[in-house]
Amino acid sequence: MEDCLFCRIVAGKIPSTKVFEDDAVLAIRDINPQAPVHVLLLSKRHHASVVDASRADPAVFGRIVAAAVKVATADGVAERGFRLLTNTGPDAGQAVPHLHFHLLGGREMGWPPW
Ligand code: AMP
Ligand code: ZN
């Protein structure tokens, strides 16, 4: 989608710091990191959120999780732990309507997450 920020990143039209890529997923460093490790796992196909992707391409979730574990291992946070999450819709504060998961690690995180 021409007007989608993350589609433009996937297409290489906007620069990003790539940490992993395969045919389904592009993993990039978040531009405004909230933890020492903050990586975004973008679906290469455009889906507005998990709701759309669960209908159109449910296999993408396994691909994203597998990519996240690879990145967490490479970045050295797999052992101590990390958080993998996706914001969906306005109540969750989803800012970019293109399917992506946040991988956060490298510090202790609180729970519940408000
Ligand atoms: P969300 O609120 O879940 O939609 O998260 C959007 C995330 O995208 C935020 O953490 C932003 O910091 C991040 N972000 C926005 N623009 C860029 C960009 N050009 N490159 C990398 N991360 C970005
Ligand atoms: Zn998109």
Amino acid (one-letter) located at 45: R
* Percentage of the chain exceeding pLDDT 90: 96
SS3 content of the chain, % helix, strand, coil (to 5): 25, 25, 50
Ligand 1 atom closest to the Cα of residue 38 is 10
The verdict on whether 46 is a catalytic residue reads no
Task: Report pLDDT digits (tens) over 30-51.
Answer: 999 999 999 999 999 999 999 9
- Ligand 1 centroid, distance to 18 Cα (angstroms): 14
**Ligand 1 near 32 CB (within 6 A):** yes
Beta-ladder partners of 13: none
Q: In this structure, which topology does domain 5-105 adopt according to CATH?
A: HIT family, subunit A (3.30.428)
Q: What is the DSSP string of 62-111?
A: HHHHHHHHHHHHHTT-TTT-EEEE---SGGGT--S-S-EEEEEESS---S
* pTM: predicted TM-score of the whole model, two decimal places: 0.97
Q: Which ligand is nearest to the CA of 104?
A: 1
Task: Report pLDDT digits (tens) over 62-108.
Answer: 999 999 999 999 999 999 999 999 999 999 999 999 999 999 999 99
Residue 2 in this model has a pLDDT that exceeds 90? no
Q: Tell me the pLDDT band of 1, cut-offs 50, 70 and 90.
A: confident
Q: Where are the domains of the chain?
A: 5-105
